[in-house]
């Protein structure tokens, strides 16, 4: 077990990239676009409360985990507000994000709306540098356990049509410091700006069946693109069944069911295709719930 933990830890921190993954990678990204795009909070009808819990590599101690809670509500005809809390844990690194979103709607045509949003907030960032020894990483003597609050701002745009959507955003525009591993030596670096693009289209297969392909692209300078390709079938507007392929070498199956007009539940299971993980780590579980008021 100890060798497995070391291997999985090194898988995350053995490259010249940051200690943590790019950002939270949620399979239900279409439902949680507000986490990366503040404009999204204006696209829902009514008040929304939703939450996702994701546990990666089940059975491995200190494996990555994410908990996200969001609240969105309209304020008048053109404005909407949102509040989000996200907690990420990746081995020795912890982050807690709190953000406030404001979205404004511009009607372009009878069928097309453009939402523009701004995001403000910050994250409490902690690194237990003493835990680096577990992964055979040598730390800079000046690198002590880190605990700091980093304020940040972001912007986003969301184009909405009855049949498609296009989303473009950067949720954190300010540079912040965080731990980094460079060739087995831990030090401090500046976190880079992340960019997100997402889009999807609804195809009518029959009167009661829709096919919805969608994509989520994540980019940060100095790291490869990370892309999710998803195809979802919607039956009677209440049952969603789909699959996702992530270029980070993983496959996921997902399902959502509308229990009532106000309540929806979802579950996703993700299986890693990385040969380093085969036989060493179990899949990832993700649970989703949504209340509409």
Q: Token match 């807690």: residue?
A: 96
Mean pLDDT on 238-252: 95
Q: Token match 């002590």: residue?
A: 144
Least confident of 153-162, 254-263, 275-284: 275-284
Q: Which of 270, 230, 267, 232 is nearest to 251 (CA)?
A: 270
Instruction: Evaluate whether residue 257 is within a structural domain.
Output: yes
* pLDDT reported for residue 17: 40
* pLDDT reported for residue 92: 78
Residue 60 pLDDT grade (very low, low, confident, very high; cuts 50, 70, 90): confident
* pLDDT reported for residue 143: 57
Domains: count for the chain: 1
Least confident of 49-53, 84-88, 185-189, 200-204: 185-189
Sign of the alpha-carbon dihedral angle for 107, 42, 175, 135? negative
Instruction: Evaluate whether residue 269 is within a structural domain.
Output: yes
Distance CA 20, CA 89 (A): 9
Instruction: Evaluate whether residue 79 is within a structural domain.
Output: yes
Mean pLDDT on 152-162: 97
Instruction: Evaluate whether residue 293 is within a structural domain.
Output: no
Q: Among 118-127, 134-143, 262-271, name the most confident range.
A: 262-271
| Per-residue pLDDT tens over the stretch 23-59 | 668 999 999 999 999 999 999 889 999 999 999 877 7
- Indicate the length of the chain as a whole number: 293
* pLDDT reported for residue 20: 42
Instruction: Evaluate whether residue 67 is within a structural domain.
Output: yes
Instruction: Evaluate whether residue 120 is within a structural domain.
Output: yes
* pLDDT reported for residue 15: 38
Mean pLDDT on 158-175: 94
* pLDDT reported for residue 275: 72
The angle at the Cα of 133, spanning 130 to 139, to the nearest 5 degrees, equals: 70
pLDDT exceeds cutoff 80 at 61: no
* Domain CATH for 17: 2.40.160.40
Domain around 138: 2-288
Residue 279 pLDDT grade (very low, low, confident, very high; cuts 50, 70, 90): low
Mean residue pLDDT of the chain comes to 85
* pLDDT reported for residue 10: 46
| Per-residue pLDDT tens over the stretch 9-23 | 545 544 334 344 446
């Amino acid at each position: 077990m100890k060798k497995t933990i070391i291997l999985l830890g090194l898988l995350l921190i053995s490259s010249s990239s940051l200690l943590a993954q790019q950002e939270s990678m949620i399979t239900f990204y279409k439902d949680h676009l507000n986490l990366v795009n503040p404009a999204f909070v204006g696209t829902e009808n009514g008040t929304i409360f939703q939450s996702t819990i994701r546990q990666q590599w089940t059975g491995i101690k200190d494996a990555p985990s994410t908990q996200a809670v969001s609240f969105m509500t309209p304020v008048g005809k053109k404005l909407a507000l949102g509040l989000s809390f996200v907690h990420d844990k990746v081995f020795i690194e912890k982050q807690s994000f709190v953000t406030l979103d404001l979205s404004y709607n511009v009607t372009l045509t009878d069928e097309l709306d453009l939402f523009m949003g701004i995001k403000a907030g910050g994250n409490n960032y902690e690194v237990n540098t003493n835990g680096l020894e577990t992964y055979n990483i040598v730390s800079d003597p000046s690198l002590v356990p880190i605990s700091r609050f980093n304020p940040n701002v972001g912007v986003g745009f969301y184009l909405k049509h009855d049949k498609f959507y296009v989303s473009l955003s950067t949720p954190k525009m300010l540079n912040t410091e965080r731990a980094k591993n460079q060739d087995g030596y831990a030090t401090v670096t500046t976190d880079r700006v992340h960019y997100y693009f997402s889009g999807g289209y609804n195809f009518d297969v029959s009167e009661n069946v829709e096919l919805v392909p969608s994509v989520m692209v994540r980019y940060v300078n100095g790291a490869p693109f990370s892309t999710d390709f998803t195809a979802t079938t919607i039956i009677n507007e209440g049952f969603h069944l789909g699959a996702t392929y992530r270029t980070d070498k993983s496959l996921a199956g997902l399902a959502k069911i509308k229990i009532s007009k106000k309540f929806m539940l979802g579950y996703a299971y993700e299986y890693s295709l990385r040969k380093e993980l085969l036989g060493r780590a179990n899949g990832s579980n993700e649970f989703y719930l949504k209340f509409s008021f």
